[in-house]
Structure 1
Amino acid sequence: MSAAFDADALARLFVEARAHHAKLDALPEGARPANADEAYAAQEATLRVLRADIGGWKVGAKSHDGPIQGAPLPADGVHRSGARLSMHAFGKAGLELEVAFKLGRRFEPHSGPYRDDDVIAAIESVHAAIEVVASRFAAWPDVEKPWQLADLQNHGALIVGEGVPYDAAFPFISPAMTFDFQGAPLFKGEPANPAGDPRRLLAWTVNHAVSRGLAVERGTILTAGSYTGLALPATSGTAVGVIEGLPAVELHFA
């Protein structure tokens, strides 16, 4: 991390933008993250300024063997299915349908490292989830990648359906699904997560958190990347995601 970067200064800008539903045009010198380490420091500073507990993590990768990145999610931004949210609170917002995992044990700070099998064994349940993707930057998505990562990886909100017990036989690579908004489909083609099997992202997330001194609490939700790409609804309405084998998830955008 460069000595010139001030994670707390950037966090205050993000929190102010969130509070006033404002957008940032640029970042001042000293508050511009240049790499992932600086972005992660800004994420953690943002949660401190918000005085927010971590309710979940979002994690993803652009390819089956590509690098993984993630972000902690404020607990008050993680909602049950049926949530009613104001789309105007987010400005330009996108929707993605994802598979999320709830952990059934706590992982202590500075513990590990954990293997894939260790974390998969801790999965309590599997859920369909809708992520609201939103940015604090006016130019999004044309924004520097470390800036987006610092901004909780463009996180707006997460809506989580009811869960079912983990089953290793579930078709995680390409489950059958539909994703509709006001009855019209939000995506066409075969659903696919660019990371491949999303379970490969879970141990990275836990190890990333605990290595930075953060506990991963029992009941934490890990949402692991979109199967449907990003849809940008233009009006208010209801989004319904149905993933075969999982309870449906529903979001009402007012």
Structure 2
Amino acid sequence: MSPTFDPTTLAASLMQAKARIPSDTLVAPSTIAEAFAVQAITMADAPAAPLGYKVARSPEGAAVTGRLLPLHLGGDATFPWRAGVAIEAEIAVRLATALPPRAGGYTRDEVKKAVGSVHLGLEVLDSRLVEGSRSPYLLFLSDRLGNAGYLLGPEVPAALVDDVAGTPLEITLGDEIIFADAAKHPAGDVVAWLVDWANREDRPESSLGAGEIITTGSLCGAVPLAKAGLLTIKLGAEHLLTANFAG
């Protein structure tokens, strides 16, 4: 007889993990709703603010999210480092007006009009699962898509939402360049996954509220950090973000 999935049990395993857990020792959810239920349990004691989420698509193309925690709003931020930690340079937006679920959904232009500011951002990836993003997808979704923190960086021109692709992007760790290429979003459109989430009619009524921060997906893929140190992200000629990683 197969073990029965229990969201409380899986949530407890993820919350209490000191080392990464092999996926095959856990009972995975069978639906996105069950994975979201695990996320809700793991975040039950999280601070109410600041509130931010990452948006993504499941392998089947469904809109999904995971909360960003801890979420730093600018300034000096230090994140813990251990072998296997990776980062992503991203574009994040802060909503000026709410986008509550509604029949018929929203156009891309309507979603853009709800944005109050656009920012350079840094996502820290450190899954509680040994296999990370290669885990069974619904386990990875339960694990908040591997999020281990976020730094909301400086405000950038709103036009980057439309034309960031091709912008030079350089990432250094200490004095070593660990990424240098043109910025590229996996969907080809920075706003695509946010629009997907906005148009998911069964999302929580309170989601995408005014003031919420949404990070929209990597511009560089997941870049592993081989060591601790000072990380610097430079987008174009003038947009700069730094964070410390402490071993």
1:24-58 Cα shifts (integer Å, max 9, x gaps): 234667x411332322222223222x344361111
2:56, 2:237 → 1: CA distance? 22
Going from structure 1 to structure 2, the CA distance change for 1:34 and 1:5 (only over 3 Å counts) comes to same
Partner residue in 2 for 1:240: 232
Give SS of 2:182's match. Answer: coil
1:22 deviates by 2.9
1:62 deviates by 8.6
Q: Does 1:156 align with 2:153?
A: no
Partner residue in 2 for 1:7: 7
1:81 deviates by 4.5
Identical positions, percent: 22
Unaligned stretches of 5+ in structure 1?
Answer: none
Partner residue in 2 for 1:40: 36
Going from structure 1 to structure 2, the CA distance change for 1:121 and 1:46 (only over 3 Å counts) comes to same
Q: Does 1:25 align with 2:22?
A: yes
Unaligned stretches of 5+ in structure 2?
Answer: none
1:228-247 Cα shifts (integer Å, max 9, x gaps): 12221121111111212763
| TM-score, structure 2 as length reference | 0.83
Give SS of 1:105's match. Answer: coil
Q: Which amino acid aligns with 1:155?
A: N
| TM-score, structure 1 as length reference | 0.81
Residues 1-254 of structure 1: pairs in structure 2 closer than 5 A: 4-17=4-17, 21-26=18-23, 31-48=27-44, 50-53=45-48, 55-61=51-57, 67-74=61-68, 76-88=70-82, 92-108=84-100, 110-111=101-102, 113-164=105-156, 166-167=158-159, 170-208=162-200, 211-244=203-236, 247-254=239-246
RMSD: 2.8
1:174 deviates by 2.9
Going from structure 1 to structure 2, the CA distance change for 1:53 and 1:71 (only over 3 Å counts) comes to farther
1:196 deviates by 0.6
Query: How many matched pairs?
Result: 241
Give SS of 2:145's match. Answer: coil
Give SS of 1:187's match. Answer: strand
1:45-76 Cα shifts (integer Å, max 9, x gaps): 3222x34436111123599xx82543232554
Q: Is the 8 A contact 2:162 2:190 kept in 1?
A: no
2:180, 2:155 → 1: CA distance? 25
